[in-house]
Amino acid sequence: MSSERIVVCGAGGFIGGHLVADLLRQGHRVVRAVDCKPFDEWFQRFPEAENLRLDLQEAGACDEAVRGAAIVYNLAADMGGMGFIEHNKALCMLSVLINTHLCMAARKHQVQRVFYASSACVYAAEKQVSPDVIALKESDAYPAMPEDGYGWEKLFSERMCRHFREDFGLATRVARYHNVYGPFGTYQGGREKAPAAICRKVIEAKLSGRHEIEIWGDGRQTRSFMYIDDCLKGTQAILASDILEPINLGSNELVTINGLVDMVENIAGLKLQRSYNLKAPKGVNGRNSDNALIKKYLGWEPSVRLSDGMEKTYRWIYDQMKSQA
């Protein structure tokens, strides 16, 4: 595969940038990296890759992006953490144009295989009302009542992939990501997710000497978080597999938001006075990944403990913030 063209859509983003880096490390010589952001806003950019700035909501841009490609990873979306997706539902829904036009272009150019990055936000909210949540199985996506906006777009795009596979023979693979985190990602500006946001808030408290932190919600809501290295391994394994249905890709190490703050405080070596903003977006009360299916199919399970991944994430964000202080 090293001489076949691999296209990473959303390469200027967090997961996409790491994926390009990993493919180049493996020796893939023809990697095309595509994103709509200006090059100086990409989290990672590599001169060894063919870097293109294209708006993949446009059909012509998707045609240019996938021309001559064997493999396409679709990680492109207008998205962010809970604060972003709760207040930008229309923008999140418009990402359906990306997957639609990429599937059309991939069919036209006879792409061998397409990977689509879906989300745990496809799962029905009624199954996530308690912090003591039962881990979500793939079948829990139906009857459908996903996260409004972002979740509906992801679920619709999953079906798009399915029907392009069934009707047109386009080989599609779909993973439902559960809260991916790590270095080289958004940690400020409103699109950041909980691990990066908590790291930033703790670092701000440390650097300013004001030892206090605001937590969104009551802090008892539960989540699982998957480190980027595990995400990359799982993503590429799913792409290469014979798994036709959407499948969970996440950690099953459940933690409360309060527990995540405890963890970052320990890394930083300080304790903070906590206040709770009960009016802020907090998402569902509990969410965890049932990994029985991916373990059965691929023998995959995450290898990076949350405490280890959070330390690496904290150190990277600290260095970024310290250099800007």
What residues are labeled active site? 150
The 3-state DSSP class for residue 232 equals helix
- How distant, in Å, are the alpha carbons of 131, 157, 222, 223, 259 from that of 287? 8, 21, 6, 5, 15
Residue with tokens 């409360």, as numbered in its chain: 256
**Is 112 in contact with 131 (CB distance < 8 Å)?**
no
What would the two tokens of residue 46 be? 């590599």
Contact assessment for residue 238 and residue 177, using Cβ atoms and an 8 Å cutoff: no
Q: Rounded to whole angstroms, how far apart are CA atoms 262 and 259? A: 5
Residue 140 CB coordination number (10 Å): 18
Residue 214 forms beta bridges with which residues? Answer: 275
d(CA 161, CA 237): 18
What φ, ψ does residue 42 adopt, rounded to 5°? -70, 140
Q: Return the number of other C-beta atoms located less than 10 Å from residue 30's C-beta.
A: 18
Q: Is-contact 188 321, C-beta < 8 A?
A: no
Cβ-Cβ contacts under 8 Å for 179 (sequence gap 6 or more)? 120, 193, 194, 195, 223, 224, 225, 226, 250, 251, 287
Residue 241: phi and psi, rounded to 5, are: -85, 180
Q: Which amino acid is at 214?
A: E
